[in-house]
Amino acid sequence: MLERVVVDPVALTVSEPSGSGTFTLTLSSQPAAIVSVSLVLPTPEQCTVSPNQILLDADNWETGATATVTAVDDSIVDGPQTCWVNTDKSVSTDPNYNGLSVRDVKVTVLDDDVPAITVSPTSTTIAEPAGSDTFLLSLTSQPNAPVSVLLSVSNNQCNV
């Protein structure tokens, strides 16, 4: 059956930290009244969509109305995530365009986080008899469990 509310594309890919993409809704014929389609995000921690309601009428039914999907950044090494933009049934006082199912949009959010440990600074100079300095270890992403690093010295010239 011919889809009367057309979504294009129905799948797109965006990347952390803030990549975005668009999809467009059009109608297969001129409606007699405004047609509204609400967009719902089950996983707003993965992506956002704007606007969250698409309105089509006699002026824009053919050119369509566009929604923008934007990736939501996190600091977790989580790989590609799927962020669905679910569409509610269409609402209109035009009976031809009321209560129609509209295809959902599958958004793939690509990850930009990598697991690594950084040390800063990586060299220092200290003096006898009791000079000292500090260095900082940090992770480039949020770990799923505590991370421990053993420190040792290569000779007996200092303590850590």
Residues that bind Ca ion (CB under 5 A): 16, 73-74, 76, 78, 111-113
Least distance between Ca ion and beta carbon 104 (Å):
23
CB-nearer residue toward Ca ion: 27 or 47 = 47
Residue 20 in contact with residue 71, Cβ under 8 Å? Answer: yes
Residue 82 in contact with residue 108, Cβ under 8 Å? Answer: yes
Least distance between Ca ion and beta carbon 81 (Å):
8
Select from 66, 67, 91, 74 the least CA-distant residue to 140.
74
CB-nearer residue toward Ca ion: 17 or 131 = 17
Report the 10 Å Cβ neighbour count for 78.
15
Least distance between Ca ion and beta carbon 83 (Å):
12
CB-nearer residue toward Ca ion: 32 or 76 = 76
